Structures are given as structure tokens and as C-alpha cells.
Chain A
């Protein structure tokens, strides 16, 4: 049994949350999100005033994003236990999780590109800023699939002592659906469905955050249960 390795991977999820929050939120100051309705000069001003903080924050954010890979792998190991020999949903989770890392890595690189030469044309800074925000908030699809396949796998668990309780399946599907409003930000510059809006940003953001908080103790429990079973055998 590689319980230690699994626990390490699970804790990487916590590392992701903490480092991501530090880099993106507290250092670079992207929360609360800037309005998409800002003018090019205002957007460029944000990068000119906070150049150093954005650069530092994006290094940390970029690094933290990859920590979601071991986290997804730890969940995948438990799904694999449910699925057995032909783990299609587990593979789907791994692929979606890998793409998820890309979705989390690319925006910090684009934000830091904007902060790389803050003196350049304000229109160009705004272009980069738009690209990073749209990529970051709108790309819900890999996370949607990630949560959906976890839900489906937990549903398929017919064993006497299931690895995850069944409500976890409903919870994951609920989370998957809640990420969808992010896809609407391309239509709006103000209001609840803009990238700084309550329904397109704050709600999916809070739910995504909450998903880690709910899944983490359940994952630890599943890993420990697996270790206990291995000892009995």
C-alpha cells in the first residue's frame, strides 16, 4: 500500500487552494475581480501601479495550479477502486484534470505578460487582460466533466461499504452544473453574468472552492479506509 503517497497527493489539493489564494488573491489583488467595463487606460493603470506584485503573485499562482494534478490523481485512485478493471470514468477524470491544470496555468502567464511591459499601449494591455479573464472564468468545461464523472462513478458504486457516500455523487453533479454560468461571460460587460458578476464569477468561484473543502476530508477517509482494508487482508 502506498498510503503515504496518496495522502501526499490529497494534501496537494490544500496546497493548491492556499498558494493559489495567496498568489492570485492576496499578492496580485485580482479579487474582487476588476470590471470588464473598465477603459483601456484604467486597465493599464492597474498593471502600471501593481507591476511588481502581479509578477510575484503570478509566479506563485502558476506554480500552485500544477498542485491540482496530484489532487485529481488521488481522487482518480479512489474512483479506480470503484470502477475495477476498465476504469473509463477514471481515465476521463485524469484527462479532464490534466486539461484543468492547463486552464489554471495559462491565465497567470497571460496576466504576467501584461505586467511584463506595463508601459506598452493600453489597448494591448487590455487585450491581454481580457484574454486572461475570459480564459480563466469562461473555461468551465474540463471542470464540468471532472465533477460529472466523479458523480457518475460514485453512483456506480454498488459495494456494501461504498468508497464515497452516495450524496457525494449528487453533490458533484450539482457543482458541475453550477460551473456552467461562467460560460456566459462572453456576452456581458456588466451585471451578474459579467466576469465580475455574482452569478458568473462569485457563485462558481465559491462552489469550486467549497468543492475542495468538502472533498478533502472524504478523500482522506477513503484513503484511510483503503489502508485499513489492506491491513486486514
Chain B
């Protein structure tokens, strides 16, 4: 191998260096969390297999419309977040200060629908101890809801950083500082995970035949 080959090899190596969004630590949390939800889902499918009739019967009482509306809410909010992050990578920060609140509004919509749904179930006498299916239903959606609430806090934080970056845009020619970008991507990655968990949770609880 000539030295030129070596050089180009090194160069290539630099070129293909993959970009990990956010800081590496956030992925410890995200992958750890998805691992646990993965375990939840395996447990659910296993116990469902032992008593399919009870699970299907209980599943039929869930309102699929609520589940579907909430899926749309989270998908939309993820889209807003993705657009906002993209906007912040660009020179001028214009959309992000609007899109983060829009994403939060979708999150809020999700929460309102969830509470309406819980209220309906509880007033119909269906609680966490009614049967195994509802146990999983309440615990899984409840833990996911907790993630959404944490995510709303994260979005508030992102919104504040975006507004700050927007005020700085003129001063330093729009370049969002590297450190801020890492924080923004970390928060956005977390929000996408919340969305992803729901996208698995929704068919598992509401649709699985």
C-alpha cells in the first residue's frame, strides 16, 4: 500500500463518520427505555397467548378512534419537532419558535384525549383490576403517558432554546451554537421515542387480532 492509499483511506474514514443525533448519553436512556418497553410487549403477547378470548373480548371495548386520533397527534408533533430541528440547523431560525409550541399543542391534545378515554373507562366501572387486559392497558398507557408528560417538559426547554437562538440569529449570523444543537437533538430524539413507543403500543392494545 502506498502512502497515497493510506491517506485516501484515512480521508474516507473521516467522510463516512456517522452522525449520532444528540449526545451519546441520551441514547443510553432511549435504548434502555425501549428495551424495557420491548420486555413489556413480550410479556403482554405471552400472557395474551394463554387467554386470547379474554384479551380479544376486552380489546373490543376500547375505542379505536381515540387510539387513532392520538396516533395522528403524536405523528404530527414528531413532524413539527423534526421540522423545527431542521430549521435550527439552517442559518436562520424562523420556524422553530413556532413549530415547537405546535408540537406541544399536539402533545396536549394527546393528553386530553387520553384523559377523556380514562374517564370513560373508569365511569363504566373498568379499572386496573378488572382483568389482565385492562391491567396492561392502564399500566402501559399510563407509563407511556408519564413519558409524554416528561416530553412536554423537554419541549418547553427546546422552545426556550429556539427562541433564544432566534434572538441571537442576527448577532452571530444565525449559526446555532454547536452545544445548543446537541441539546436540541437530544430532546428531539427523546420525543421521537415517545412517538415510536405509542406506534407500537397502539396496534398492540387496540388492534392486535
Residue ranges of A at the interface with B (Cβ–Cβ < 8 Å): 165-171, 173-174, 177-178, 180-181, 184, 187-188, 191-193, 198-199, 203
Contacts and interface: CB of A to CB of B under 8 A. Distances in A.
B139 A184 contact: yes
A188 B135 contact: yes
Contacts of B149: none
Chain B interface SS verdict (over half): helix
Contact of B23 (A166, A168, A191, A199): A166
Interface stretch (B35-43, B70-78, B86-94, B110-118): B35-43
Contacts of B135: 187-188, 191, 193
Contacts, number: 46
B24 interface: yes
Interface residues of B, number: 19
A46 B43 CA distance: 29
A169 B23 CA distance: 12
Given A187-B135, A192-B47, 11 more contacts: A166-B23, A167-B28, A170-B25, A170-B26, A173-B29, A174-B33, A177-B33, A184-B139, A187-B129, A193-B135, A198-B39
B24 A174 contact: no
A171 B39 contact: no
A198 B43 contact: yes
B189 to A, nearest CB: 11
Contacts of B33: 174, 177
A170 B143 CA distance: 18
A166 B24 CA distance: 9
Interface in B3-60: 23-26, 28-29, 32-33, 36, 39-40, 43, 47
A192 to B, nearest CB: 5
B139 A193 contact: yes
